[in-house]
Structures are given as structure tokens and as C-alpha cells.
Structure 1
């Protein structure tokens, strides 16, 4: 009898040990996901796979948002991407979102996702901004129209120490435009990889949209098949209002990631097309003609800038 009791006790001990081992393996596996940051209101701000209703949203490396909030919809027809940084003294993000959301029809809202990239690398700042946006746009969050992401752990290792002065720019300006390029490459790559839209509209966080902007964009973009253009531009100033189709979104993200420290973003738009279509022996005029066909320009401005405080102010740049 004692012999059987010892054998039974050994079996129980073995089962408990196996349970502990399996639990450790489970913890090791889940630790591959980015830990979420839970604020005082219980906002889930992390990349733990529960956002976007997809267990596929798991980071493979550090090049993944540290913080996320808002489920968002998968494979929308249009993603409107808005990178945003804190400005000294003012913020225009909420106004920008309001201007862009209010004119949309019900169908347009169903087919559109706003991906807001809060680029400041602090969990407390992300939480504060997420709470403010959720309080004002609760209905849009519940409709899965807004998805917030923060920066990855590293945009690029030690990037600030790799900058080389050029174009007679001061180092502060080079740092600002290089960071802008890294943010752009990251944002576009994230959208392509994890959200998979048909069209991608790059915006800025300080713009006012015309009330008919969405219908005008769709009408203009759909006049020609996507194999006949790389991107469309709907404003003549800055990086706002650039529309890419899926393939060109992916390719431009890769292009910016390669030349992030070489030139300002608005110059890279032009280089992107020229490097794809122009030969070395062709004249500048022929190159321009080819490029203009792939860079479709809308007649008029659908967007105008709101504010007077530039994002450059956070880098100590006055102009």
C-alpha cells in the first residue's frame, strides 16, 4: 500500500512540475509581444495582439509600435495617416481630425481608417493624448475609425550620431528632417504590413480640409488605373495630401528608409519617381515629362495649414 502511495505522490509531483514548465513556456512566448501600458483609466495602449482584432499583430522585432490604442478596421479602402508631435504652446491634431471626419458620408466612414502616429517616445505622453482623443472622438473609436500608434523602441540605432551636414543646413534642421523621414518610413511600413489598405493618404496634423475632399480625392484617383501613377498630390505646400496606392506605399516606404538622412521629405517625393523612370542619358525636360505623368497633381488645394507653430519648434528651430 505504501509503495502505491509513493508512486501516486511521484506522479502528482511530476504533473505539477510539467505544469510549471508549461506555464514558463507560455510566459516566455507571450513575452515576445510588446507589453501594454495600462493607464489609470484602463486604456490598453500596448501591442499585445488584442488590438485590431487580430492575433497576427505581433512584433517580430523592436521595429513595432510600443503603444497602440483603438481597434481600427482591417483592410479599409482608405487609410488617412497623420503623424503628430507635441508643439511648443499649441496643438492642432484634434481640430485636424474634426475637419476631416465631419464631412464624411456614412459609407465613407465605413471605408476609412485614420491612423494617428503619436511620435513622442514617452508612455505618459501617449496615454495623455490617447485619453484626450478618446474623450472627444469616442463614437469614432467605437466605429473603428481611429487607430493610434506610438513609435517603435528604435527607429534606427544611434541615428542622431550618423547625421552628416549637407545643403548648408544646420545640424538641428538636419536632425528634424531626418527624424521626419524615419517617422514617415515607419508609419507607412506599419500600415502596409498590418492594416493592408487599398489607398494611403498622408496628412499632417495641422490642416483644414475642404468639405468635399474625400469625394474629390476618390474621383481624381479613380480616373486612371494605379499602374499609370505612383502618387497624387492634393495640395501644393508640404507633405500633406499625398495619395499612394498600395504598391507605391510599400515602395516609397522602402525608398525613404534608404535615404532618410540624405534629403528633406518633399525632395524625396520627386526623387522617388525620377529614379524609377528617368535614364541617365535623358534630358531634364524628358525626365520631367515622364515624372509628371506618374505624379498626378490635382488642380486646386483641398487642404490648407491651420497653425503658426511648426513641428520644428520641438527641435529648437525657429524657421
Structure 2
């Protein structure tokens, strides 16, 4: 009996031990699975953190690139703004300089004192400045006759490309006839497109308010009075064009709208000016006719204009040009020969002439002008 009890206890203990072992093994397996799951979560978290870190670095780099681009754009805009401001200031300075040059007109022409800003109507122009030569060509309506296209063709076609780049041709329309103004502009924009595009050819018109009231009078039928008004207006036309051209170039060459030029005339002028040993000259004449082919230093133009304006009602402009030299160089009591000799030092004559007058119909209505330069 006792043996059976012992065996039962042993069996029971074995069952309990087995059950406990199974329970322990089950718990250990469960714990191990949890540990594995935990480790997997940790690895997954680690991987997520690594991806997040990589993504953050990528985002940081993109952000830096974006910031750098924004910085570059801001700098470019600031530089552009600075250049635009500088250009605006420079343009304003140029306009202000020219405007100030025109202010001397108010001293001699009282009716302009009521005008604020005196400035031509710039029809075609690119504000070309800093060149060696400005060539001025005033033009007026001659009715059914016109020589301007022939003149411009001769002037611009006989320049080299470098000479064209170092000069500006200014056509000044001194006529209020709207049809004539339109015809000049249309002709120039079609026939001389390259020069217009490069800024080497400009077209301006003189505003009607510039002229004194007496020049607007159309009532007089006396030819002598009309001729006097025509001569007076011509002096003012030249003065206005000179003042506009002065700040553009070192030298100013006065031409007319009915002339032709010799081949290589511009090269000849340039070489002659550069080879003059003395800088005391006031003008160089490349034609003996009227006011054609007269070269001035731009720095001296204001003095010439002031003298012309003092006597614009009294004499034609070519006469006034002779008088200014006589006043400058002739002393009371000296011989005429001595005066002429000194006059030649500042009023240089170049031969042969480089320009020829070809117009027949004068700008004065109904009058013919057949003058030719015998030294051409």
C-alpha cells in the first residue's frame, strides 16, 4: 500500500514537473518571440531613423541650393537695379547737359524765357555720344526738289565701318510741314536702316516755338522781306543743330542737304586733323562755299553760337563766320595783310575741297542756286 502511494507521488511529481517545464518552455518561447519582435521593431525604427536622416540631409541640401539660388537672384536683381539706376542717372545727365546747353538761347531770344525745357523733337536717335565726329545736316522742304537722299548716300557710303562707328550723322528737319517731316523719316528708315539701327544716324526736328514771331509771319509779299526772314531763320537753324551736336563728339562738321562728298573724304579729314601740329585752330574749311564743310572743335561751338545769335538778324551765317575771325585776330591800326596772315593760323583751308554743292533749287522758294566749288 505504501509502495503504491510512493509511486503515485512520484508520478504526480513527474506530471507537475513536466507541466511546469512545459509552462516554462512556453513562457520562454513567448518571451523569446517578444524579444525577437522587439528587436525587429528596434531594427525597423533604426532603419526609419536612418531614412529620415538621409531624407533630412537631402532636404537640407535642397534647401541650401534653393537659398543659394534665391541669394544669386537677389544679387542679380540688385545689380540690375543698380545698373538701371545708373543708366537712368547717366541718361538724365546727358539730357540735362544738352538742356543746359540750350539755355543760352533764352538770353538772345527773349520769347524762349517762358519755355521750360528747350529740346528738339528727337524722331530717330539712340543717344550716341563719345564719338570723334558729329556731322550736322539741316534740311528744309524744297517743294518738288529734294537732294537729301543723294547727300546721305554720299556721306555714309564713303565711310569705313570703323569711321561710321566713331561718328554720328544728325539730320535736323528745320521745317514744320508735317508731310515733309514724314517723307524724310520714311526715306531714312527705309534707305539707311543699318545706320539708324546702329545709332550712327539721327533725325531731329526743331520745335516751332523756337523761332521768333517774326519768322512765322506769312503775310508779307515783299521778296526782300521774305529773303531776310529766310536768312535769319537759316542762322537759327544752324545754331540749334550745333547746340544739339556739341555734347556728342569731339569735332563738329557742318554740311548741307544738297551736297556730295569725295571718296574717302572722312579718312582724309581724320588724317588731316590728327596731323595738325598746333591745336590753336578754330575751324578747318573743307569747302570754300558758304557754310559747307566747315569743321569745328565741339568745345568752341558755344562761342560761335553766341556770336551768331548776337547778329542773327543782320547777316548770313557764312558772313558772320568771317566776322568772328576778323574780330578775334585783327587789331586796330594794323595792316590787312597782317590780319589775314594771323587769320590763316586759326582758320585753316584744306585743298582740294572735299564737298561739292549739287543742288539747283534753293531752299528759298523760287530761287535757283548754281554755285559750284572750283577746288573740288
TM-score bracket, normalised by the shorter chain, equals: 0.7 to 0.9
The change in CA–CA distance for 1:225 and 1:71 in structure 2 (over 3 A counts) is farther
Taking the aligned partners of 2:334 and 2:292, their CA distance within structure 1 comes to 30
Give the equivalent residue in structure 2 for 1:82. 137
Deviation at 1:226, TM superposition (A): 6.3
Equivalent residues of 2:128, 2:248 under 8 A apart? no
Indicate the residue corresponding to 2:213 in structure 1: 158
Match of 1:68 in 2: 123
Partner of 2:91: 54
Give distance in 2, aligned partners of 1:156 and 1:183: 9
The Cα of 1:83 is off from its aligned counterpart by 0.3
**8 Å Cα contact 2:141-2:180 kept in structure 1:** no
Aligned partner of 1:295 among 338, 341, 347? 347
The Cα of 1:99 is off from its aligned counterpart by 0.5
- Distance in 2 (CA, whole Å) between partners of 1:153 and 1:267 is 26
What's the secondary structure of 2:210's corresponding residue?
Answer: coil
* Other-structure match for 1:175: 229
Task: Report the alpha carbon displacement of residue 71 of structure 1 after superposing the two structures with TM.
Answer: 1.4
Distance in 2, matches of 1:229 and 1:81, equals: 20
Aligned to 2:288: 236
The CA distance in 2 between the partners of 1:308 and 1:136, in whole Å, is 23
Equivalent position to 2:204, from 149, 162, 175: 149
Partner of 1:274: 326
Q: Note the C-alpha offset of 1:229.
A: 0.5
Deviation, structure 1 residue 262: 1.3
Unaligned stretches of 5+ residues in structure 1: 1-49, 163-168
Indicate the SS of the match to 1:217.
helix
Q: What are the Cα deviations for residues 251-296 of structure 1, in whole angstroms up to 9, with x where unaligned?
A: 1122111111111111111111111222223222221111111110
CA distance in 2 between counterparts of 1:295 and 1:261 reads: 24
Deviation at 1:158, TM superposition (A): 2.1
**Residue matched to 2:238:** 184
Structure showing greater relative contact order (alpha-carbon pairs closer than 8 Å, 6 or more residues apart): 1
Q: Measure the CA separation in 1 of the matches of 2:359 and 2:211.
A: 30
Distance of 1:303 and 1:271 partners within structure 2: 23
Deviations 1:204-245 (A, max 9, x none): 101111011011111222222563210000111221100001
* Count of residues paired in the alignment: 259
Among 351, 356, 361, the alignment partner of 1:309 is 361
User: d(CA) in 1 for partners of 2:324 and 2:136?
Assistant: 19
Cα deviation for residue 154 of structure 1 reads 2.4
Structure 1 residue 150 displacement after superposition: 0.4
Mapped partners of 1:308, 1:74: distance in 2: 34
SS in 1 for 2:284: strand
User: Deviation string for 1:98-118 (max 9, x for gaps)?
Assistant: 111112111101101001101
CA contact 2:211–2:233 (8 Å) conserved in 1: no
Greater Cα radius of gyration, structure 1 or 2:
2
2:338 to 277, 286, 297: 286
Is the helix fraction higher in 1 or 2? 2
State the shift of 1:153 in Å.
3.7
Distance 1:260-1:143 versus aligned 2 partners, 3 A rule: same
Q: Which position in structure 1 is the counterpart of 2:276?
A: 224
CA contact (8 A) 2:158 2:264 kept: yes
Report what 1:39 is aligned to.
Answer: none
Is contact 1:67–1:123 with CA below 8 Å preserved after alignment? no
Q: Distance in 1 between matches of 2:367 and 2:156?
A: 31
TM-score (norm 1): 0.75
| Structure 1 residues 197-216: aligned runs within 5 Å | 197-216=249-268
CA RMSD of aligned residues (A): 2.4
